[in-house]
Amino acid sequence: MDLIDKAKNFVTEKVANIKKPEASITDVDLKHVGRDGITYQAKVSVNNPYGAPIPICQISYTLKSAGRVIASGTVPDPGSLKGNDITLLEVPLKVPHSVLVSLGKDVGADWDIDYELELGLTVDLPVVGNLTIPLSSKGEIKLPTLTDLFN
């Protein structure tokens, strides 16, 4: 029985110390204004330490403002991470107009909203299996002006 426990501890230690991709949210900005809402875009930079590409299973996101969820969803099968390289991912965040109107107090004079973005980047690592990398970012997003709406 002692040998089995040693083997489990060895495997657990090796898996815990395995290199993992590192990611960060680099920017959140306005992408598109449409009839049904506004699409913001989060840019995510992911560094893959392996020589081989790693498949991305999904990206899940929650966008909050004033303590309320204003957008959430998933991007299924967004591709893969390049081997030994940095991959830039673009995550669309669709916010309905009705939600933005309800945030009127937060908009105020500066025409922006304070946000908190939580992302979960799920990748499929060999041997380990699915691994979710949690990311978060806080900041301000500018709302579209009338010119943005008619362009």
Say how far apart CA 114 and CA 144 lie, in whole Å.
14
What kind of fold does domain 20-150 have according to CATH?
Immunoglobulin-like (2.60.40)
User: Which residue ranges make up each domain of the chain?
Assistant: 20-150
Per-residue pLDDT tens digits for 68-112: 898 999 999 889 999 999 999 999 999 887 776 666 655 655 667
Mean pLDDT of the chain: 83
pLDDT for 18 equals 72
Side chain identity, residue 17: N
Per-residue pLDDT tens digits for 109-125: 566 778 899 999 999 98
Per-residue pLDDT tens digits for 44-73: 999 999 899 999 999 999 999 878 898 999
Say how far apart CA 58 and CA 44 lie, in whole Å.
13
pTM for this predicted structure: 0.78
